[in-house]
Amino acid sequence: MYQYSTSFTASNSLAEKVLNKEEGALENYLAFLGSGGSDYPIELLKKAGIDMKGSEAFDKTIDSMIRVMDEIEKILDKKGM
């Protein structure tokens, strides 16, 4: 469970940065993908702009989940549920 949740949080944070067109995010992501297993995962993520020791990645994931839940509520409201 721990590996799944941390992987989800890291990947969501990477995606949010790319989708929000943060400066250097796409380049950092591509460099992260190209780095393979050249270092410990937490260090590779740090180089990609994701600090898993801080709260930013978690906060981005929570914000993303809230947006998804808001969209679900809108869909259900339209269907009268």
Q: What is the pLDDT of residue 72?
A: 96
Sign, CA dihedral 53-24-66-11, equals negative
Q: What gap in Å lies between CA 81 and CA 78, rounded to an integer?
A: 8
User: How many domains does the chain contain in total?
Assistant: 1
pLDDT in tens, 56-69: 999 999 999 999 99
DSSP state of 50: -
Rounded to the nearest 10°, the torsion over CA 37, 42, 46, 49 is 90
Residue range(s) defining the domain that contains residue 21: 2-78
pLDDT band of residue 1 (cuts 50, 70, 90) is low
